[in-house]
Amino acid sequence: MRRAHILGVGHYVPSKVVTNDDLAKIMPTSDEWIFQRSGIKERRFIEHDGIGPSDLAVPACHQALERSGRSLKDIDAIIFATLSPDADFPGSGCFLQRKLGLPGIPALDIRNQCSGFLYGLSIANAWIQTGAYDNVLVVGGEVHSTGVEFTERGRNVAVLFGDGAGAAVVGVSDDPGKGILAVKLHADGSGAEDLWIPAPRSGYMPRITHEMLDEGLQWPQMNGKQVFRWAVEKMPEVAREVLADTGLTIADIDLFVPHQANRRINEFVAGALDIPAEKVVHNIERFGNTTAATIPIGLSESWADGRLKGATVLSAAFGSGYTWAGAVIRF
């Protein structure tokens, strides 16, 4: 069977830096609270209205293509992971396809939140293994800054998220030793309401009312402590599962690129797995949580630092749904 590989990875974040102190000017919070609880110092927000996740994805895709040695004409499918799509419908993949100038190729949106990139990677992996496609763009892109509430009511969520995009060109590995060695996906809908946006809802007519808006149901609601508990249990679990699939052990792992929801979560997970601190990629202090984009951004920065060359990389994510996933990739 053909083995799929990440041939190149890129990212893009908007230029507008928003520090914790900036947020403290518009709602009751502080740099100390945010940094101590999450490890975040600053995040990026879109510079002006009208910039959607598909716009952020365009430069990320071009960087991934350049690094992969592939060109746009080689791409034969797009998978776009986002929880903050450009519009309710059609999917951001269609907007991205138009902006890249790739008419005719399939564009699939997936809705798997923080695990979205690894879910997308799993689909691309299967497509490539079966010969359905040769080169797939797997994208994670989010614009959160327009979808969180900068008030005391929304501050537990608003301080955590940032805007950004990451992209990978997934193609056929030319070396059987390299590529996606394992990828595993999970979900448990019993926690769906622990991190969600209650409205608009298609089960209501109309889907949103003035009363719902007054209640703030259009903003994300999070049971942070519950999500934290699940994350620190499920991320090590799925990491062990993908390692077992490959026959590798933690000692074989050169780099751990986890989802970036909270630095404390990732330190705990790395500790539970006995991964030394120097092998763990953290960038939450600069970007906050960019949901589906965190893992490709982490991979892209590691590519730029030269840390992916020849490396065996472990990745794991946990988030809304609940969904969680893990992967082992050898570069």
Active site residue 210: no
Q: Which of 61, 114, 125, 144 is catalytic?
A: 114
129, 156, 218, 221: which one binds ligand UT7 (CB under 6 A): 156
Contact positions with ligand UT7 (CB under 6 A) in 297-326: 319
| 37 in contact with ligand UT7 (CB under 6 A) | yes
| 159 in contact with ligand UT7 (CB under 6 A) | yes
| 289 in contact with ligand UT7 (CB under 6 A) | yes
Q: Which is nearer to ligand UT7, 29 or 173 (CB)?
A: 29
| 225 in contact with ligand UT7 (CB under 6 A) | yes
| 224 in contact with ligand UT7 (CB under 6 A) | yes
| 35 in contact with ligand UT7 (CB under 6 A) | no
| 25 in contact with ligand UT7 (CB under 6 A) | no
CA atoms within 13 A on the CB side of 88: 5
Query: Least distance in Å: CB of 175 to ligand UT7?
Result: 34
| 81 in contact with ligand UT7 (CB under 6 A) | no
Query: Least distance in Å: CB of 159 to ligand UT7?
Result: 4
Residues that bind ligand UT7 (CB under 6 A): 29, 33-34, 37-38, 114, 155-156, 159, 195, 224-225, 227-228, 231, 261-262, 265, 289, 319
Catalytically active residues are 114, 259, 289
